[in-house]
Amino acid sequence: MLNRRTLLAAGAAAIAGPLAAPRIGHAADLTGVTADEIKIGSIFPYSGPASAYGVIGRLQQAFFKGINDAGGFQGRKLNFLTYDDGYSPPKAVEQARRLVEQDKVSFLFNTLGTPSNTAIQRYMNQRKVPHLFLATGADKWADPEHFPWTIGYQPSYRTEAQIFAKFMLEADRNAKLGILYQNDDFGKDYVNGVKDILGPRFDAMVKPVSYEVTDATIDSQVVQLQSLGCDAMLTAATPKFAAQTIRKVFDIGWRPKLHFITDVSISVGAVMNPAGPEKGVGVITAAYLKEPTDPAWANDPGLNEWRGWMRQHMPDADQTDGNYVYSYGVAKCMMQVLTQCNGDFSRENIMKQATSLSGVAIPSLINGITVSTSASNYHPIRQMQLAKWDGHTWERFGGLIEGAG
């Protein structure tokens, strides 16, 4: 697998110049904006090892089409251009350049994946193109000093790992934790988050084992962690490998006292059912989205709004797949930014409004969790709630948690 240095070089070596913060007052950059349309670009893994996430892009295609069919947004068509990168960073670089230089989009929205976004982050900032609400929780997207044109959306993976580690210590201070992680910044954020909490005890308590996205399975890694005597586990994997892990842990008869799983791989339709719903009983995650299979949300106004939209625009989609809930919510957040632009759709003002959100309620978020940003806060969502898989749905427990402090 290409390392991060190689990926960045492939995507941005030919582009020079310092990064610059978005500032209003210069000549407005209205690239991608006309009297009739706003061009929005995105990149998703519609194919490849993370193709389960392709439904996020498909919902957004339907979302913006629905707005256009209803007359558009403030008299403009929202022209959503989305391409496949197969979860390949070099391909992501190619598609980002295509969107920015050929299609001349106004901004990129919700591009998916830590490796792909790592590959294009410097390019986007050097071109001063808003790189908004990335579909990845890597902690590094909140770096306005060095990358002022890039902002994430979901909670930080590192914070989630801190929450897991604190819970583990409360349950068993002598647990031996095995971490199965994807060998990139996505997976390493979980290792670092656990290290934040355990400190000098990390080496004695934790056995980290990595996998590559090009691997066919993670069976050998799971067997290795069991053989190392781990009695707790944290799985930091994309849906395909998360489902494999849950299934393999169960099938070899390993019963760790605690099994944590990243919140990006808890879809009932894409992960738990393929793994075998009975095989994941007791697995713990940290959630920020309303789970569509949870009876607690059966009559929730926010989730009913999503259900109504799905019936109208994507009637054949699997409503047990939480990726659709995620996608609808982040699209609503994007519309809040465009509304706040108040008719000024320059790149500078779009970026300014994306970093000026104050307590925005999104229908897909667990009640009490809102979206807030500022020029110095690029972590839009910072609260989560623990949840345990009961064989049918994710059952939430405890209160909202904002971090490890």
Q: What is the pLDDT of residues 166-202, one digit of tens each?
A: 999 999 999 999 999 999 999 999 999 999 999 999 9
C-alpha pair distances (Å), 131 with each of 15, 96, 202, 283, 330: 17, 10, 35, 34, 14
CA atoms of 146 and 136, how far apart (whole Å): 18
Is residue 2 very low, low, confident or very high in pLDDT (cuts 50, 70, 90)? very low
- Average pLDDT of the chain? 93
Is the confidence at residue 369, as pLDDT, over 60?
Answer: yes
Are 150 and 161 found together in one domain? no
Residue at 179 is within a domain: yes
Measured in degrees and rounded to the nearest 5, phi and psi for residue 273 equal: -65, -45
272 and 321 fall within a common domain: no
CA-wise closest residue to 30 among 85, 103, 106 = 106
Examine the domain organization and report whether 130 and 28 are in the same domain. yes
Domain for residue 376, yes or no? no
Judge whether residue 17 has pLDDT over 70: no
Please determine, for residue 343, whether its predicted confidence score (pLDDT) is greater than 70: yes
Same domain, 147 and 18: yes
According to DSSP, residue 53 is labeled G
CB 134 within 8 A of CB 157: no
Quote the tokens at residue 365: 């978020």
Residue 27 predicted with pLDDT over 90: no
Residue 281 has pLDDT above 90, yes or no: yes
Whether residue 190 is found in the same domain as residue 279: yes
Q: What is the pLDDT of residues 229-268, one digit of tens each?
A: 999 999 999 999 999 999 999 999 999 999 999 999 999 9
Residues 180 and 233 sit within 8 Å (Cβ to Cβ) = yes
**Do 203 and 344 fall within a single domain?**
no
Residue 141 has pLDDT above 80, yes or no: yes
Return d(Cα 93, Cα 7) in angstroms, integer: 9
Give the H/E segment covering residue 234: strand 232-236
Q: Considering the domain boundaries, does residue 294 fall inside one?
A: no
Determine contact, residues 28/348, Cβ cutoff 8 Å: yes
167 part of a folded domain: yes
Do 98 and 41 share a structural domain? yes
- Domain span at residue 181 reads 157-287+385-396
Average the pLDDT over 73-85 and give the result: 97
The pTM for the full model equals: 0.88
How far is 399 from 146, CA to CA, in rounded Å?
34
| Position 116 pLDDT exceeds 60 | yes
72 located within any domain: yes
- pLDDT of 7: 40
Note the pLDDT of residue 9: 42
For the four alpha carbons of 252, 192, 138 and 156, in that order, the dihedral sign comes to positive
Q: How far apart are CA 383 and CA 93, in angstroms?
A: 32
Q: What are 312's two structure tokens?
A: 């109208």
**Is 315 inside any structural domain?**
yes
Q: Are residues 151 and 45 in the same domain?
A: yes
Judgement on whether residues 151 and 172 belong to the same structural domain of the protein? no
Greatest Cα-to-Cα distance within the chain, rounded to the nearest angstrom:
64
> Are 123 and 163 in the same domain?
no
List CB contacts of 260: < 8 A, sequence separation 6 or more: 164, 167, 168, 232, 233, 234, 235, 283, 284, 285
pLDDT for 402: 80
Average pLDDT of the segment spanning 54-58: 98
Query: Which residues does 96 contact at the CB level (< 8 Å), separation at least 6?
Result: 11, 41, 43, 108, 111, 120, 123, 124
Q: What CATH number is associated with residue 316?
A: 3.40.50.2300
The pLDDT score that the predictor gives to residue 26 is 52
Token couple for 326: 């995620």
Q: What is the total count of domains within the chain?
A: 2
Residue 297 is assigned to a structural domain of this protein: no
Q: What is the bridge-based pairing of β-strands 394-396 and 385-389?
A: antiparallel
- The answer to whether the CB of 141 falls within 8 A of the CB of 120 is no
Q: Does residue 21 surpass a pLDDT of 70?
A: no
Q: Which amino acid is at 60?
A: Q
CA angle 141/241/57 to nearest 5° reads 55
DSSP 269: I
- Whether residues 11 and 122 share a domain: the answer is yes
Q: What is the rounded distance in angstroms from the CA atom of residue 287 to the CA atom of residue 267?
A: 11
- Confidence class of residue 20 from pLDDT cuts 50, 70 and 90? low
Amino acid letter, 213: V
DSSP string, 54-110: HHHHHHHHHHHHHHHHTT-BTTBEEEEEEEE-TT-HHHHHHHHHIIIIIS--SEEE-
Number of H helices, E strands in the chain: 13, 11
Tokens of 393: 């749905």
Question: What residue type is 59 in one-letter code?
Answer: L
Q: Which tens digit of pLDDT belongs to each residue from 290-331?
A: 999 999 999 999 999 999 999 999 999 999 999 999 999 999
- Is residue 161 located within the same domain as residue 283? yes
Contact 96, 11 (CB under 8 A): yes
Residue 3 has pLDDT above 50, yes or no: no
Is 201 domain-assigned?
yes
Backbone phi, psi, residue 301, to 5°: -60, -40
